[in-house]
A = this chain, B = another copy of it.
Amino acid sequence: MRQVVMHGPGNVRVEDREDPKIVEPTDAIIRLSATCICGSDLWPYRGAEPVDHQVMGHEYVGVVEEVGSDVRNVKVGDFVVGSFWASDNTCEICQAGYQAYCVHRVLMGTIGTQSERARIPLADGTLVATPGMPDPDLIPSLMAASDVLGTGWFAAVAAQAGPGKTVAVVGDGAVGLLGILAARQLGAERIIAFSRHTDRQALAKEFGATDIVEERGDDGVARVKDLTDGLGAHSVIEAVGTQEAMMQAIHSTRPGGHVGFVGVSHDVAIPGDELFMAGVHIHGGPAPVRQYLPELVQLIWDRKIDPGKVFDLTLPLDRAAEGYRAMDQRTATKVLLTV
């Protein structure tokens, strides 16, 4: 089968690799319908994380081709969506809604889903079948549910976005934009998007943003304060992962408010005294997407949300290198790879 391999920073190739096989009786093999490139894939691409001949990709939708002898919840022929963490969905941590920390979790990035087929561990806990075979135009949105939508949703939940709340969103990448969509779905009254890119501002507004702030850092914080009677937002989503973004998020939040952070932290250190004086709640990390998948799949199936709009470039798997380049150069927000 064809599979994306990153040989080193900036060096992405699509190669012939062996087809995956059932290893554990709880595994399933899927044939992918689509996969995509994640903002987090850019860290090794840019040399900010080590990489050496690594299979890539952790997002996936597709059709079940084979199941292990212990698999009960999905069957051959099902169209399925799963998260970037495989999880049993039965352990105490999963039952508490934190499937990204399942005691048996497997990181799908170590398996690599930018490929024609993939082995999915813990298939019963990991995969959610759609009500039937989806219309082709639903594929991008279902694909988004696998990570960026689920992650944006978690960020909005962690930030306690809801009725009567003012939500601010730091980061206008796919996750930030879908954090806006999530905040809107969760009933937020006002949504402030930090963005200085015209096209992303437009999508932010389409997803529910009511205000756009182009300033960053302290100036951005001051604008949010201006918009909130000097108090700050109730809920702030941090979807970048840098020091500036994290501090912008904390300082944009009113005392007692909530920061939901999902940007993969790189060289971030939160000063204890600033956190102490801010009086905010902070929660984040790898999103327990599995918790939200049944609800998100249904919203997409019922065409109530259209998160697939974050994909602004679609390429066949064999042209993955172009997709990485486009995201690295920010000529694309999010790249869908068809298989």
- Which residues of A come within 8 Å of B, CB atoms? 92-93, 96-98, 100-101, 103, 229-231, 241, 243, 246, 254-256, 261, 264-273, 275-286, 288
- Measured CA separation A277–B254 after assembly (Å): 25
Contacts of A278 in B (CB 8 A): 285
Could you tell me the distance in whole angstroms from the C-beta of A139 to the nearest C-beta in chain B? Answer: 30
Partner of A279, one of B271, B272, B285: B285
Residues of B within 8 A of A255 (CB): 93, 98, 100-101, 285
Q: Output the least CB separation between A45 and chain B (Å).
A: 19
Q: In the complex, A279 Cα to B261 Cα: how many Å? A: 10
B276 and A272 contacting across the interface, CB-CB below 8 Å: no
A281–chain B nearest beta-carbon distance, Å = 4
Cross-chain contact A231 with B92 (CB below 8 angstroms): yes
Closest to A241 in B: B272
Residues of chain B with a CB closer than 8 A to A231's CB: 92-93, 103
**A159 nearest CB across to chain B (Å):** 12
Contact B279 A100 (CB under 8 A): yes
CB distance from A276 to the nearest CB of B (A): 4
Measured between C-beta atoms, what is the minimum distance from A277 to chain B in Å? 6
Q: Residue of B at shortest CB range from A274?
A: B265
Nearest Cβ distance between residue A107 and chain B, in whole angstroms? Answer: 12
B residues near A97, Cβ cutoff 8 Å: 256
Interface pair B284/A275, CB less than 8 Å apart: yes
A285 and B281 within 8 A (CB):
no
Bound Cα distance from A93 to B246, whole angstroms: 23
| A261 and B280 alpha carbons, distance in the complex (Å) | 11
Task: Please determine whether A264 and B286 come into contact, CB atoms closer than 8 angstroms.
Answer: no
Q: Which 6 residue pairs across A and B have the least CB separation, nearest first?
A: A268-B272, A265-B272, A101-B255, A98-B256, A279-B285, A269-B269
Q: Say whether, besides A93-B255, A101-B256, A254-B93, A277 and B272 are in contact (CB < 8 Å).
A: no
A98 in contact with B271 (CB, 8 Å): no
Which residues of chain B are near A288, meaning CB under 8 Å? 256
Question: In this complex, what residue of B is CB-closest to A279?
Answer: B285
